[in-house]
Amino acid sequence: MIQYLVSCRLKEGYYDEAIEFIHTLQAYYPGSTLYADEFGPVNLIYLMIPFESLASYEDRVDCLRNDERFMHLVREGTMWFERKTFRIRILRAL
């Protein structure tokens, strides 16, 4: 099954905000799996999103619809999405 890997690299002191954002994504993508980097400080978290969930992106994610940079990420696959407190990378994975 094709999945998308969403990685969230946290900036110091903003863990809660990034977790909230990832949980928002997780709520809109059924079947997604959340896990953290276990090889060092927990400053990187991942969300595996099934391709079938991304296919319904337009219908599900009203709260992110106004951010064109995020839409571009989903269309193009691998790019960085910068936020004030953390950055998101979405890439296609098998």
The CATH number given to whatever domain includes residue 61 is 3.30.70
pTM beyond 0.85, yes or no:
no
For residue 75, pLDDT over 50 is answered with no
H helices within 12-67, ranges in order? Answer: 15-28, 51-55, 57-60
What CA–CA distance (Å, rounded) separates 83 from 49?
A: 20
Q: What is the pLDDT of residue 78?
A: 35
User: Which of these, 61, 69, 7, 9, lies nearest to 30 by C-alpha position?
Assistant: 61
Q: What is the pLDDT of residue 23?
A: 75
Counted domains in the chain = 1
